[in-house]
């Protein structure tokens, strides 16, 4: 008898079934959320289909670039992780041939480009900034990344995590940005580098990147785990 | 005294389904849109949280520091498909069935002014199944506003992939303002539309069940 009961509650009844039995409307809420998540995955596929791998985001003039770029995170700037060039190493993982960690010095010696592009936040505000760095695609080729894989993922020193599709990773304007407004990236903006992706919403631009990995499994994202759309292309 | 005529209003099933799908999607889009607007207000005010859509804000904040915007965007980007397809269906159906040409045209400034003055002085009769010029203009305006919502919405959703679409609206922030203005127009249309339906409830019957009849008021004036 005891055993029977344990089997019933241990395996047979899910939490959802329990809340349904008690008539709680949380299950309704959950099923709505599940339906919305399904549509969100459909929206991922639509966005991947309409993404132009060579369609360039608009660029702007020097005068339009904001010098005092807005700080944005779920924590205050004083809590930004302070990484130093002495200790920092960029780790590489997944489908990459040469996984030797990179120092800041070595990263900063990579060939760089400057672009003035617009950061668009999911909330609706936007801001133009001047960014300098190495196209992620150039870096991925240099380290022997398998660019036929589907995704590139990022882990960050502040606990943030993100991931993007390979088409966006190889987009010519997707930068490992080392400089903002001609100055080395300040700590609050993600020293030693942040991903600057003008074809994605702002939250798909991770800062303080400590690991880059190449994978066929869709990487999770900090905000997508909180209900935002995964692809979030613009 | 004239003999009372029977006024009849009929709506084919395609019109009724697309009408109600548009209505449902617009309510969802406005409610979730207000929540999204609140995250970064364009003007100096926000919408009361209780009339926005996207779940419990306090709960979302407590769980993961998100002011309930994730869920609102989920609603918005689901209902946008519903509106786009029902609107397309409604437009195509009414173009090819002839309803637009038969009942919504012609409209002209002179006849509009005549019916507008009559409506403003409460002398305009509502005849079931007939559309006066003020009504016709209001319907064209609402349908045009939905088109503008879809267009400005695409510019906001995909400002890079559809660039330079946003420049039509004066840039990305301009597109947000245009999106807001036509939302307001549609909201006003809904208020008037629903108020008039309450005055002439038979139109609700016709739009739901497909057919309604009423005794003519023509002789009453």
Asked if residue A210 lies in contact with residue A90, where contact means CB atoms within 8 angstroms, the answer is yes
Give φ, ψ of A89 to 5 degrees.
-135, 135
Average pLDDT over residues B71-100: 96
Q: Is residue B139 part of a domain?
A: yes
Q: pLDDT (tens digit, 9 = 90+) per residue, A80-102?
A: 999 999 999 999 999 999 999 99
Mean model confidence pLDDT for chain A: 90
Instruction: For residue B143, give the CATH number of its domain.
Output: 1.20.950.20
Q: Which residues of A touch B37 (CB under 8 A)?
A: 124
With 60 as the cut, is the pLDDT of residue A179 above it? yes
Interface list for chain B against chain A, based on CB atoms closer than 8 Å: 36-37, 39-40, 42, 55, 63-66, 69-71, 73-75, 77-78, 81, 156-161, 163-164, 172-173, 176
Q: Name which of A102, A74, A78, A77 is nearest A90 in CA terms.
A: A102
Average pLDDT over residues A159-163: 97
With 50 as the cut, is the pLDDT of residue B150 above it? yes
What is the rounded distance in angstroms from the CA atom of residue B151 to the CA atom of residue B178?
Answer: 10
What is the rounded distance in angstroms from the CA atom of residue B79 to the CA atom of residue B65?
Answer: 25
Q: Is residue B138 part of a domain?
A: yes
Question: Which of A35-49, B83-97, B120-134 shows the lowest mean pLDDT across its residues?
Answer: B120-134
- How many CA within 13 A on the CB side of residue B26? 25
Query: Would you call the peptide bond into B164 cis, given omega within 30 degrees of 0 as the criterion?
Result: yes
Q: Is residue B189 part of a domain?
A: yes
Looking at the partner chain, which of A74, A126, A233 has a beta carbon nearest the beta carbon of B173? A126
Q: Is residue B176 part of a domain?
A: yes
- Mutation pick from A55, A58, A128, A174 vs chain B, by most beta carbons of B within 10 Å, is A58
Confidence band of B4 (pLDDT split at 50, 70, 90): low
Average pLDDT over residues A164-170: 98
Domains of chain A in sequence order: 2-46 (no CATH), 55-226 (3.90.420.10)
Strands A183-184 and A126-135: unpaired
Average pLDDT over residues B60-87: 92
In sequence order, the β-bridge partners of residue A131 are A115, A180
What is the rounded distance in angstroms from the CA atom of residue B29 to the CA atom of residue A21?
Answer: 32
Asked if residue B54 lies in contact with residue B35, where contact means CB atoms within 8 angstroms, the answer is yes
Q: Which residues of B touch A74 (CB under 8 A)?
A: 65
Could you list the residue range(s) of the whole structural domain that residue B182 is in? 6-220
With 70 as the cut, is the pLDDT of residue A4 above it? no
pLDDT of residue A41: 97
Of residues A144 and B119, the one with the higher pLDDT is A144
Element (H, E) at B119: helix B109-120
Number of CB pairs < 8 Å for A and B? 80
Question: Total structural domains in chain B?
Answer: 1
List Cα–Cα distances, A155 to A42, A108, A117, A149, A231, in angstroms: 26, 19, 24, 18, 17
Q: Which residues of A touch B82 (CB under 8 A)?
A: none
Confidence band of A15 (pLDDT split at 50, 70, 90): very low
A184 by DSSP, 3-state: which?
strand
Of residues B182 and B3, the one with the higher pLDDT is B182
With 70 as the cut, is the pLDDT of residue A21 above it? no
What is the rounded distance in angstroms from the CA atom of residue B186 to the CA atom of residue B145?
Answer: 7
In sequence order, the β-bridge partners of residue A115 are A131
Average pLDDT over residues B28-32: 97
pLDDT of residue A18: 39
**What ipTM goes with this model?**
0.90
- Mutation pick from B59, B74, B157, B162 vs chain A, by most beta carbons of A within 10 Å, is B74
Interface list for chain A against chain B, based on CB atoms closer than 8 Å: 29, 33, 35-37, 39-40, 43, 50-52, 55, 57-58, 74, 118, 120-126, 198-199, 223, 225-229, 233-234
Q: Which of A10-14, A27-31, B105-109 is the most confident on average? A: B105-109
Cross-chain residue pair A51–B159, CB shorter than 8 Å: no
């Amino acid at each position: 008898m005891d055993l029977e009961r344990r089997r019933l509650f241990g395996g047979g009844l899910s939490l959802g079934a329990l809340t349904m039995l008690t008539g709680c409307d949380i299950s309704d809420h959950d099923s709505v959320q599940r339906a919305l998540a399904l549509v969100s995955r459909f929206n991922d596929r639509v966005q991947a289909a309409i993404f132009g791998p060579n369609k360039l985001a608009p660029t702007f003039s020097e005068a339009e670039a904001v010098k005092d770029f807005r700080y944005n995170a779920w924590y205050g700037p004083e809590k930004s992780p302070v990484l130093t060039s002495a200790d920092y190493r960029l780790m590489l993982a997944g489908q990459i041939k040469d996984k030797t960690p990179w120092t800041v010095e070595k990263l900063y010696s990579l060939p760089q480009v400057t672009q003035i592009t617009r950061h668009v936040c999911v909330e609706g505000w936007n801001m133009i900034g001047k960014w300098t760095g190495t196209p992620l695609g150039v870096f991925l080729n240099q380290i022997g990344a398998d660019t036929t894989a589907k995704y590139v993922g990022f882990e960050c020193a502040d606990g943030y995590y993100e991931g993007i599709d390979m088409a966006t990773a190889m987009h010519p304007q997707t930068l490992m940005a080392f400089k903002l407004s001609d100055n080395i990236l300040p700590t609050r903006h993600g020293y030693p580098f942040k991903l600057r992706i003008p074809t994605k919403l702002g939250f798909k631009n991770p800062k303080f990147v400590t690991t880059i990995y190449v994978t066929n499994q869709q990487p999770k994202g900090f905000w997508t785990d909180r209900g935002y759309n995964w692809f979030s292309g613009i | 005294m004239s003999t009372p005529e029977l006024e009849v209003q009929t709506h084919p099933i395609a019109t009724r389904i697309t009408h109600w799908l548009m209505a449902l999607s617009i309510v969802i889009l406005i409610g979730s849109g207000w929540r999204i607007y609140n995250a970064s207000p364009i003007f100096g005010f926000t919408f009361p949280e209780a009339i926005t859509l996207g779940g419990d804000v306090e709960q979302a904040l407590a769980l993961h520091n998100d002011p309930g915007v994730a869920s609102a965007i989920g609603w918005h980007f689901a209902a946008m498909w519903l509106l786009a397809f029902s609107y397309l269906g409604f437009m195509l159906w009414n173009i090819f069935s002839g309803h637009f040409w038969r009942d919504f045209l012609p409209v002209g400034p002179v006849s509009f002014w005549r019916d507008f003055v009559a409506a403003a002085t409460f002398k305009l009769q509502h005849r079931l199944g007939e559309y006066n010029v003020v009504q016709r203009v209001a319907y064209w305006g609402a349908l045009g506003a939905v088109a503008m919502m879809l267009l400005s919405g695409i510019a906001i959703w995909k400002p890079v992939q559809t660039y330079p679409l946003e420049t039509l609206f004066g840039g990305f922030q301009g597109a947000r303002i245009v999106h807001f203005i036509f939302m307001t127009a549609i909201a006003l249309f809904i208020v008037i539309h629903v108020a008039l339906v309450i005055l002439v409830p038979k139109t609700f019957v016709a739009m739901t069940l497909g057919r309604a009849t009423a005794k003519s008021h023509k002789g009453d004036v």
